[in-house]
């Protein structure tokens, strides 16, 4: 079997006071550790590297011998000889005080202003689990998207060699982000998306699963006589870099509803990420004019549900007497709105677990995908379905 060779990227500064041998040693060391090369990976020969760098072969020989003394390289016992990554090299891949990088779309002070309590719960889960595993967390904001390529590389180089992994909470915009794109190109460190997934096979993810909470909700609606359910979900706008798992919630509910004898009637919100409905009246019109008319409505999140409730009230409709209403996220105060929810602390903790497992036992490019189960919380916004032949608005 042919063994892959590692060809280091070495840029010598011939005007520097640092000897060429020392420059080669340092850049080779960085390349081996940053790429977490597997034991036995063969390096290109001394002659090849000397020819490429246009230097004396003896200089390369001395650099290789220094790395042997440092425990990163050893002589190959296979035919042809040469240098390979030493058995003890992986011991140097993990920093004495391991740290991971938590990538925030904005500076932390800005993130605090934009985040709701749930966003902070995810960060809390990351911090608590990292502390349990004796891993420090470096909160890292994305630099300006207009940075030139070399400066983006310098930003990456400032933390990647010292990190055991990367956790990303979100993006600062739906537009393509060149800085984030360069971060995604790094395959040498475990990288985990929180509440999202990626089309790239080397990116891990921790997402919520709507299924359990949806089944509990649908079972409750069936017991209360509901046979039609309006589903007001965000219209997915597939992102090339970061796909938020919240877009799949409505599809999951629509898929499961027939199993409970409930007809799903789907309308879309959006497209893309929205935090407030621009025209709740238009959405209510779509739901109320549907045939058959839904007796209950599930909405993408609690904030949207509250907006719809206000619109219903303005039209003389009562919740839940005329129509039952359910949201997602459990963000509304009081005991009125029924909702589906999941643990954000668990999502954050699982992201750290993935980083630790992949760094300790995985290979560069490996990925893990885990889900956190959801649950249904029944409150006052659900009651028995109002049948079409009853007086009133149903």
Cross-strand bridge partners of residue 339: 327, 377
Can you read off the two tokens belonging to residue 318?
């009562």
pLDDT in tens, 351-369: 999 999 998 888 888 999 9
What's residue 209's pLDDT?
96
Q: In angstroms, rounded to a whole number, what is the distance separating the alpha carbons of residues 237 and 270?
A: 9
What is the b/e burial string over 288-320, where b = at least 16 CB atoms within 10 angstroms of the residue's CB?
A: beeeeebbbbbbbbbbbbbbbbebbeeeebebb
Handedness of CA 252, 254, 259, 260 (dihedral sign): positive
Q: How far is CA 348 from CA 59, 124, 238, 353, in A?
A: 48, 7, 24, 9
What's residue 389's pLDDT?
56
Q: In angstroms, rounded to a whole number, what is the distance separating the alpha carbons of residues 90 and 93?
A: 5
Whole-angstrom Cα Rg for the chain: 28
For the entire predicted model, the pTM comes to 0.78
Asked whether the predicted pLDDT for residue 132 surpasses 50, the reply is yes
Average pLDDT over residues 20-36: 87
pLDDT in tens, 170-197: 888 777 888 999 999 888 889 999 999 9
Asked whether the predicted pLDDT for residue 35 surpasses 60, the reply is yes
Place of tokens 């190109």: 185
Residues of the chain with CATH 1.10.10.10: 5-92
What's residue 392's pLDDT?
43
* CB-based contact 305:269 (threshold 8 Å): no
pLDDT in tens, 291-350: 999 999 999 999 999 999 999 999 999 999 999 999 999 988 777 999 999 999 999 999
Asked whether the predicted pLDDT for residue 394 surpasses 50, the reply is no
Asked whether the predicted pLDDT for residue 282 surpasses 70, the reply is yes
What's residue 254's pLDDT?
96
| 155 phi and psi angles, rounded to 5 deg | -60, -45
Asked whether the predicted pLDDT for residue 375 surpasses 70, the reply is yes
Asked whether the predicted pLDDT for residue 114 surpasses 70, the reply is no
What's residue 239's pLDDT?
64
Asked whether the predicted pLDDT for residue 227 surpasses 70, the reply is yes
Sheet holding 5-6, edge to edge: 5-6, 42-43, 83-85, 73-75
Return the closest-CA partner of residue 140 out of 113, 173, 162: 162
Q: In angstroms, rounded to a whole number, what is the distance separating the alpha carbons of residues 117 and 234?
A: 21
Confidence tier at 393 by pLDDT (50, 70, 90): very low
What's residue 362's pLDDT?
83
Average pLDDT over residues 238-249: 81
pLDDT in tens, 38-70: 888 899 999 999 999 999 999 999 999 999 999
Confidence tier at 275 by pLDDT (50, 70, 90): low
Handedness of CA 183, 184, 188, 191 (dihedral sign): positive
Confidence tier at 2 by pLDDT (50, 70, 90): very low
How wide is the angle at C-alpha 93 spanned by C-alphas 91 and 98, nearest 5°? 105
pLDDT in tens, 118-127: 788 999 999 9
Class of domain 99-208+345-373: alpha beta
Cross-strand bridge partners of residue 371: 207
CATH of domain 5-92: 1.10.10.10
Cross-strand bridge partners of residue 352: none
pLDDT in tens, 72-91: 999 987 776 789 999 988 87
Q: Where are the alpha helices (DSSP H) in 80-148?
A: 108-114, 117-132
Q: CA neighbours within 13 Å on the CB side: how many for 94?
A: 17
Q: Tell me what the pLDDT averaged over the chain comes to.
A: 88
* CB-based contact 85:37 (threshold 8 Å): yes
Q: In angstroms, rounded to a whole number, what is the distance separating the alpha carbons of residues 157 and 356?
A: 21
Which of 100-114, 138-152, 248-262 has maximum average pLDDT? 248-262
What's residue 350's pLDDT?
98
209-341: in CATH 3.40.50.2300:
yes
Of 29-33, 144-148, 306-310, 332-336, the least confident: 332-336
Q: CA neighbours within 13 Å on the CB side: how many for 177?
A: 18
- Report strand pairing: 338-342 vs 369-377: antiparallel
Q: What are the counts of helices (DSSP H) followed by strands (DSSP E) for the chain?
A: 12, 17
Residues of the chain with CATH 3.40.50.2300: 99-208+345-373, 209-341
* CB-based contact 374:213 (threshold 8 Å): yes
């Amino acid at each position: 079997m042919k063994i892959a060779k590692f060809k280091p990227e070495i840029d010598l500064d011939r005007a520097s006071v640092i000897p060429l041998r020392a420059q080669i040693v340092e850049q080779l060391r960085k390349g081996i550790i940053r790429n977490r090369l597997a034991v036995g990976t063969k390096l290109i020969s001394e002659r090849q590297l000397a020819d490429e760098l246009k230097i004396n072969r003896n200089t390369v020989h001395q650099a290789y011998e220094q790395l042997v003394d440092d425990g990163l390289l050893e002589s190959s016992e296979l035919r042809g000889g040469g240098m390979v990554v030493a058995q003890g090299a992986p011991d140097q891949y993990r920093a004495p005080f391991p740290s991971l990088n938590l990538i925030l779309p904005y500076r932390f002070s800005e993130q605090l202003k934009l985040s709701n309590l749930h966003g902070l719960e995810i960060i809390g889960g990351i911090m608590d689990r990292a502390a349990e595993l004796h891993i420090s967390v470096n909160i890292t904001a994305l630099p300006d998207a207009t940075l030139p390529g070399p400066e983006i590389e310098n930003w990456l180089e400032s933390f990647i060699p010292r990190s055991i992994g990367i956790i990303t909470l979100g993006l600062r915009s739906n537009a393509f982000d060149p800085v984030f794109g360069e971060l995604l190109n790094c395959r040498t460190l475990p990288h985990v998306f929180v509440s999202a997934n990626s089309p790239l096979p080397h990116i891990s993810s921790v997402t919520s699963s709507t299924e359990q909470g949806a089944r509990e909700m649908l079972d409750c609606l069936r017991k209360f006589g509901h046979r039609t359910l309006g589903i007001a979900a965000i219209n997915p706008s597939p992102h090339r870099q970061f796909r938020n798992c919240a877009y799949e919630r409505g599809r999951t509910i629509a898929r499961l509803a027939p199993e409970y004898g409930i007809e799903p009637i789907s309308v879309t919100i959006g497209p893309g990420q929205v935090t407030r409905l621009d025209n709740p009246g238009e959405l209510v019109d779509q739901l109320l004019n549907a045939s058959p008319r839904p007796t209950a409505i599930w909405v993408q999140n609690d904030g949207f549900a509250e907006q719809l409730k206000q619109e219903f009230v303005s039209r003389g409709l009562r919740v839940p007497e005329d129509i039952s209403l359910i949201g997602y996220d459990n963000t509304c105060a009081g005991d009125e709105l029924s909702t589906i929810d999941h643990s954000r602390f668990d999502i954050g903790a699982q992201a750290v677990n993935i980083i630790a497992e992949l760094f300790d036992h995985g290979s560069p490019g490996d990925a893990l995908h885990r889900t956190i189960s959801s649950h249904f919380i029944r409150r006052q916004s659900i009651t028995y379905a109002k049948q079409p032949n009853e007086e009133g608005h149903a």
